[in-house]
Structure 1
């Protein structure tokens, strides 16, 4: 059976009253441990991501009880017990210290985001920013509900819950941090309710100026790109015209060479035909002379025989 069953059932609802008995705690030490031992206890073991996520889920469930209770030692014991039920064994003091560290880191990220909106994304690299934001947004909703009830004239001041305390008050630093965060959230809600969104307007104006500057830079880049594109097209047209002129010159030169070659060929043909005609004329003349000689010889031989 789960040894923390009675605590888990007691705090299953954030509005349930704190029940006793609480799990026994080790007796307090007579003297504080050395600084080196405390530093070593804080360093080891480290909180894992899963363990911190489980811790924040439990803390979110009990956040309303923490807000309505001044002495919340039993609440931290309940958080420790619930963590132990999930396999993460932490003491109430370790849980309280972890919560203070998380609040401090969240407050630092929110302060950096408000001071420099451009660094908001970088400041929110805190891995549990969304979980902490949800917890404090729930507080804002609760504060708004209180404001509405106060506007109606109702007394909504929560009574102190004495069932969970043993006479010890919580650490002052934790209360100061949480009260400061709650006051900042309440102030933000009030300023929004009154219509005072000066920061949002400044952010919108800065965003508009940034967009205008970016748009101007983009337009300048586009103009420069178009100018270079036109220059490249002009150079390309000039190069194309030069290549076309060179092609035409070569084509004209080739045509001239072909005409000259044709004329030379016709001249050669004419000379060859002239030589052929002269050779035929000489051959016919020789043939005529041969016939004449044969006829003369035959005539002479015929005269001698008679």
Structure 2
């Protein structure tokens, strides 16, 4: 997979990449400190096997263990290498201690990171719930205002209709009076003729 796709799928990609890069640099430095001719891990294992009198089956077992093993096995192999090459026991114990310290430091970093992630998630949830509650409140207020406006519109429309009806009734009454007056005037004029 491409690194960009990995970043999208795995949220801690950058942190893990930094850890693995640092680990790889440490391994390269350790190989360089071992001297020339020890850059290959298989040559190291072969020299270890020859120095300790291992059989080919034990070498294969060690190969599979080496593939599956973690930092602790690497530290113990480094300790064996130092001891077989004439290193001082204090160096071996200091390497093991340093490795254990780095493992503990990584564990603490990961625990701190997880705590921070949990705190951030809790804060995010609280902020989201507050925003959601505020949105609900605003929506309810808006609905109440719209209902009040609708009721006010209905009341005003009813009043307008009532006024219109009253105006029409007054006009009809005036028209009737006018018609009656005109008819009486016409009747008087006919009588006089």
Measured against the shorter chain, the TM-score band is: 0.5 to 0.7
1:190 paired to 2:91: no
Structure 1: runs of 5+ lacking an equivalent: 1-117, 154-184, 295-306
Work out whether 1:269 is the aligned partner of 2:159.
no
CA distance in 2: counterparts of 1:252 and 1:285, whole angstroms: 50
Alignment partner for residue 234 of structure 1, among 96, 119, 133? 133
Q: Where does residue 283 of structure 1 map in the other structure?
A: 182
Q: Which residue of 1 aligns with 2:14?
A: none
* TM-aligned CA distance change 1:136 to 1:291, over 3 Å: farther
- Show the 5 A alignment for 1:218-257: 218-257=117-156
Could you say which residue in structure 2 is the equivalent of 1:208?
107
Where structure 2 has 5 or more consecutive residues not aligned to the other structure, the ranges are 1-18, 55-74, 85-92
**Among candidates 125, 131, 138, match of residue 39 of structure 2:** 138
Shift of 1:282: 0.8
TM-score (norm 1): 0.38
Aligned equivalent of 1:6 = none
Shift of residue 292 of structure 1?
Answer: 1.7
- 1:292 and 2:191 are equivalent in the alignment: yes
Give me the TM-score of the superposition, normalised by structure 2: 0.57
1:99-154 C-alpha deviation (Å, 9 max, x unpaired): xxxxxxxxxxxxxxxxxxx8x84xx5xxx96994795643775555344334349x
Q: Distance in 1 between matches of 2:155 and 2:124?
A: 46
Which deviations, in whole Å up to 9, do the C-alpha atoms of 1:62-109 show, x marking residues without a partner? xxxxxxxxxxxxxxxxxxxxxxxxxxxxxxxxxxxxxxxxxxxxxxxx
Structure with bigger RCO (C-alpha 8 Å, 6+ apart):
1
In structure 2, the partner of 1:5 is none
Q: Greater CA radius of gyration, 1 or 2?
A: 1
Question: How far apart are residue 215 of structure 1 and its match?
Answer: 0.7
Per the alignment, residue 52 of structure 2 pairs with 151
- Distance, in Å, in 2 between the alignment partners of 1:192 and 1:282 is 134
Cα gap change, 1:192/1:257 in structure 2, threshold over 3 Å: closer, same or farther?
farther
Give the match's secondary structure for 1:138.
coil
